Amino acid sequence: MSQNFSHPLNSLSATEISEAVSILKKSNKNHENSSFSYISLEEPDKKLLKENTNLERFVKIVGVDQKSNGFEAEINLSKKELIKEEKISNKAGPTYTLAEIFKAIELTMGDENYQKALKKRGIKDLSLIQIDPWPGGGFVNKNIKNGNRALKAISFLKDSEKDNAYARPIQGLIAHIDLTENKVVEIEDHGVVKVPEAHARYDKDGQEFLRENPKEIAITQPEGVGFSVEDNLISWEGWQLRASIDPIEGLALHQVSLNNRPIFYRAGLSDMVVPYGSSDPMHWWKAVHDGTEYGFGTMTNSLTLGCDCLGEIHYLDAHKLAFDGSVETIENAICIHEEDFGVQWKHNDSTQMGYNEVRRSRRLVVSSFATIGNYDYGIFWYLYLDGTIQLEIKLTGVVGISAYHEDIHKSGQDFKISPELASPIHQHLFNVRIDWDLDDGDNQLFETNVEPLPINNVNPEGTQFQAISSHLTKESEAQRNIAPEKSRTWKIVNPNKLNKVGSPTSYKILYGNTPTLLSNPDSPPGKRAAFAKHNIWATPFQNEERSGGGRHTVMHSGEGGLEEITAKDRNISECDLVTWLTFGVTHIPRPEDWPVMPVEYCGIHLIPVGFFDQNPTINLPPSCSSISKSNK
């Protein structure tokens, strides 16, 4: 008999995670020595959830056993039983565990050839060495046996315990670790380059002086916040949604609706890739999948009041499965607050009517941050009063660096960010999966391009242009890229729901300036991150199709990714539609990015088009602030 959980999409509790691990270990004693990657809630099908919210609770535990084989186990928490356990193919394994990261560092530190390479550089004190493990897939070392899990490791030298190690890279030295066989298989040494001397601490105590603090901007809501939160259900100005931390995707949204009209069922980061474009031996092989190789959710930060979020804040905690089977709580994992966002609409009438009307905009912000190695990523969802939804990724942290050498680094590929350091050109490409449910029905995908009309009798001066919309009916037709010169956009349409002017209700997908993958399509990054070849893909919903690069990407060659998913060229003309949206930045490093880069932004907007019959904020009451001050 199913237990009466408050809602099937509530985040997993610490008790549930502990129970799941206990059930797994009782069912298979060998897991006493396993290393766990993550636990995730097996979310119910949306059609089933619409019919019944009193459903049994299922979870999936993913990890690596003592023989370095990946596994996933499905558990019924309601009945407290293991449903099934399956081995994950060694060709495409689960995320690295913290135990594997520690193992790689320990094996590298203890390796005789590694220590000899350090001595050759005059480095004797291992306590000041920082080792950063990187995924071993893609360009796999020749000494790693097929099917084995592996990591690469690069090194940095601190000057003191509190030093920023990234300021002093040990150039040319790469360790290759076979995690399955528990050994270092090669120390790759490209020759001695002087370790940089300059420091680059970024903490306040490491600065020569601190500038005068800007005057405080106080954000107060004396009447209280305009949103309410119950478990992970958020309500604000007609909006309703649920928010959670998925171990792979990080911050995910569920059942997003406005005025009781569904928009999408689920949205989350399906994958991302960071390919490097340099020939530098320390970087050319890098193309990490930060989500599926390490896990955005498992790397989520605890946010700090007044720093990461400012104003009247409501936090949601998250619980995660640690590598040793224990439960860790990420306090303040999700931040929820409101922000004023300037003018919503305005018109100053120039006739004798005398109207001068202006309304203020505001937005609800749901956000989190994750740190993957040297980079920090903020996932920010914004909901606006006019029905717009925005996803913004904030990129910050420390850029990848090398000790500069004129014989190694090339103009246009490697950029000096300090007299001693160079940083390579690279990309950050994100893929967001949106499972649509626009107006509670099957949906269609249209592409709109704006084109000039030919000069003729009805367009004699050549000033006219028109928007042309095309219905995309197959998966192959929906593999498309942005075209700013054509003002290209895409629309999600419900053909069975019409607005007041007789048009079907829809939402527009609007990109900013965004690249696609620059690596050759036949290269390992091109095959493993094929999702980044196009800005948009579309598929009919299948529950197992969750990740643009494949659910398990450690050591993989692209298995399970969007090219494989769409190979049958299925019909999407009117279906339970899923879109996969790729966006990001090509990062050309600059001195201002050092020692910590200012936030860079990328993302998408989802904008109502005929979803409403008129401006949905036309009835906003005037709200000019009575506490604002001026010089008059």
pLDDT given for residue 429 in this prediction: 98
Which of 521, 212, 486, 261 has its CA nearest to residue 387? 261
Which of 569, 491, 528, 476 has its CA nearest to residue 140? 528
Q: Are 275 and 296 in contact (CB under 8 A)?
A: no
Q: Are 316 and 338 in contact (CB under 8 A)?
A: no
Q: How is the chain split into domains, by residue range?
A: 14-87, 98-206, 227-272+294-350+359-401+427-609
Question: pLDDT tens digit string along 540-599?
Answer: 999 999 999 999 999 999 999 999 999 999 999 999 999 999 999 999 999 999 999 999
pLDDT given for residue 211 in this prediction: 93
Q: Are 394 and 378 in contact (CB under 8 A)?
A: yes
Q: Which residues contact 307 (CB under 8 A, 6 or more apart)?
A: none
What is the pLDDT averaged over residues 596-618? Answer: 98
Which tokens is 280 given? 């530098």
Q: Is 119 helix (H, G, I), strand (E, B) or coil?
A: helix
308 is an active site residue? no
pLDDT given for residue 627 in this prediction: 76
Q: Is the pLDDT of residue 4 over 70?
A: no
pLDDT given for residue 630 in this prediction: 77
Can you name the CATH fold of 98-206?
Nuclear Transport Factor 2; Chain: A, (3.10.450)
Which tokens is 109 given? 């530190």
Q: Cα separations (Å) of 162 from 165, 208, 430?
A: 9, 15, 33
> Residue 398: how many CB atoms within 10 A of its CB?
21
Return the minimum-mean-pLDDT range out of 59-73, 109-123, 345-359, 498-512.
345-359
Q: Cα separations (Å) of 617 from 260, 346, 384, 614, 622?
A: 17, 11, 10, 9, 11
What is the pLDDT averaged over residues 135-155? Answer: 97
More confident call, 220 vs 507: 507
14-87 and 227-272+294-350+359-401+427-609, same CATH topology: no
pLDDT given for residue 5 in this prediction: 56
Question: pLDDT tens digit string along 376-432?
Answer: 999 999 999 999 999 999 999 999 999 999 999 999 999 999 999 999 999 999 999
Q: Is 258 helix (H, G, I), strand (E, B) or coil?
A: strand
What is the Cα–Cα distance from 231 to 47, expressed in whole angstroms? 22
Angle at 407 between CA 402 and CA 408, to 5 degrees: 35
Can you name the CATH fold of 14-87?
Nuclear Transport Factor 2; Chain: A, (3.10.450)
Return the minimum-mean-pLDDT range out of 206-210, 268-272, 335-339, 500-504.
206-210
What is the Cα–Cα distance from 126 to 112, expressed in whole angstroms? 12
- Catalytic residue among 265, 375, 377, 384, which? 375
Question: pLDDT tens digit string along 294-341?
Answer: 999 999 999 999 899 999 999 999 999 999 999 999 999 999 999 999
Q: pTM higher than 0.85, yes or no?
A: yes
Q: Are 469 and 448 in contact (CB under 8 A)?
A: yes
**Percentage of the residues of the chain whose pLDDT score is greater than 70:** 99
What is the Cα–Cα distance from 215 to 629, expressed in whole angstroms? 15
- Catalytic residue among 163, 290, 414, 576, which? 290
pLDDT band at 497 (very low <50, low <70, confident <90, very high): very high
Superfamily of domain 227-272+294-350+359-401+427-609: Copper amine oxidase, catalytic domain (2.70.98.20)
Average pLDDT of every residue of the chain: 95
What is the pLDDT averaged over residues 358-387? Answer: 97
376 is an active site residue? no
Q: Are 84 and 74 in contact (CB under 8 A)?
A: yes
pLDDT given for residue 628 in this prediction: 80
What is the pLDDT averaged over residues 203-219? Answer: 91
pLDDT band at 2 (very low <50, low <70, confident <90, very high): very low
Question: pLDDT tens digit string along 424-469?
Answer: 999 999 999 999 999 999 999 999 999 999 999 999 999 999 999 9
